[in-house]
């Protein structure tokens, strides 16, 4: 078997004396691992860094095998990411979130979003809001998407400013006011398509609290694993 695809490097682990097992997020084949011979060489180490984009050819005798990767760099971002601790934590978070996806299951929308984010991680005024939207999209892809289309109580579509932690549905200001202490804040940029560069920092923080609640409860806790350290580190940098 053989296929060729564009991919984002998620990470590597050592395999033998000179090879590595590379974990890639590919556009058409999803999160996919494979062995890279001489992956620890001076030529390959800079390529196989998290956040880099590569062209990957995967070969195996049968589909179930680990297979071999032949990899060429298409976009190296390490030098840019190294200039910012926020960017480094950000790429760690993107990779950790993509690892939540089932192996070998394509998610082209998330792949495209991840590529946009890693290209903008050094832009402090844009990347955080993009990251919140990425976490929202990930919840959808994992089957835990929030319903922000109308108020869970009244069915109205105006002034949706809360989210019910129980149902994951939006709640209007009027309906939610008596129970505001029990509800999550819904920042406006998640429903009105406000440009990322215009989103206030406090709204970004509210967005992370919102996505963090549902990721923590429905994804990480359900799998018995903790939230990745990179998430707390990234938010702390904001």
The yes or no reply on domain 2-76 and CATH 1.10.260.40 is: no
CA 232 to the chain's CA centroid: 14
pLDDT at 193 over 90: no
pLDDT of residue 147: 97
pLDDT of residue 82: 87
State whether residue 227 is helix, strand or coil. Answer: coil
Tens digit of each residue's pLDDT (9 = 90 or more) over 131-175: 999 999 999 999 999 999 999 999 999 999 999 999 999 999 999
Cβ(50)–Cβ(9) below 8 Å: yes
pLDDT of residue 150: 97
Would you list the domain boundaries of the chain?
2-76, 80-148+186-237
The token duo for 36 is 């890279």
Sign of CA dihedral 107, 109, 112, 114: negative
Residue 191: other Cβ atoms inside 10 A: 14
Residues 6+ apart with CB under 8 A from 32: 7, 23, 24, 25, 26, 58, 103, 104
Q: How far apart are CA 77 and CA 54, in angstroms?
A: 11
- Please report which confidence band the pLDDT of residue 194 belongs to, taking 50, 70 and 90 as the band edges: confident
Q: How far apart are CA 102 and CA 121, in angstroms?
A: 25
Q: How far apart are CA 205 and CA 198, in angstroms?
A: 14
- The H or E element that residue 58 is part of is strand 53-59
pLDDT of residue 115: 97
Percentage of the chain surpassing pLDDT 90?
A: 92
Residue 186 burial class via C-beta count within 10 angstroms: exposed 0-12, middle 13-18, buried 19 and up? buried
Q: What are phi and psi of 183, to 5 degrees?
A: -105, 160
Average pLDDT over residues 176-195: 94
Cβ(34)–Cβ(20) below 8 Å: no
Which DSSP category does 2 fall into? E
pLDDT of residue 78: 87
Find, among 6, 87, 21, 11, the residue nearest to 53 by Cα.
Answer: 6
Tens digit of each residue's pLDDT (9 = 90 or more) over 72-90: 999 999 888 888 999 999 9
pLDDT, mean over the chain: 96
pTM: 0.95
Per the listing, tokens 């989103």 go with: 199
Q: Which range (29-33, 102-106, 120-124, 160-164) has the least confidence? A: 120-124
């Amino acid at each position: 078997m053989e296929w060729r695809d564009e991919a984002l490097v998620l990470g590597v682990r050592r395999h033998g004396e000179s090879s590595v097992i590379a974990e890639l997020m590919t556009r058409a084949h999803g999160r996919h691992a494979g062995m890279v011979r001489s992956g620890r060489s001076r030529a390959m180490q800079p390529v196989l860094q998290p956040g880099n984009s590569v062209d990957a050819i995967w070969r195996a005798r049968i589909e179930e095998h680990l297979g071999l990767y032949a990899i060429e760099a298409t976009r190296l971002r390490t030098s840019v990411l190294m200039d910012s601790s926020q960017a480094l934590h950000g790429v760690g978070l993107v990779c950790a979130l993509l690892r939540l996806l089932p192996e070998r299951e394509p998610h082209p929308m998330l792949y495209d979003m991840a590529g946009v984010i890693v290209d903008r991680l050094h832009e402090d005024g844009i990347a955080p809001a993009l990251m919140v939207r990425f976490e929202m999209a990930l919840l959808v892809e994992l089957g835990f998407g929030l319903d922000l289309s109308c108020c869970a109580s009244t069915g109205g579509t105006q002034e949706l400013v809360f989210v019910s932690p129980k149902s994951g549905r939006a709640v209007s200001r009027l309906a939610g006011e008596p129970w505001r202490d029990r509800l999550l804040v819904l920042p406006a940029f998640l429903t009105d398509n406000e440009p990322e560069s215009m989103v206030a920092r406090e709204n970004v923080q509210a967005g992370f609290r919102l996505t963090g609640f549902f990721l923590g409860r429905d994804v990480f806790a359900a799998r018995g694993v903790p939230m990745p350290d990179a998430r707390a580190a990234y938010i702390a940098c904001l």
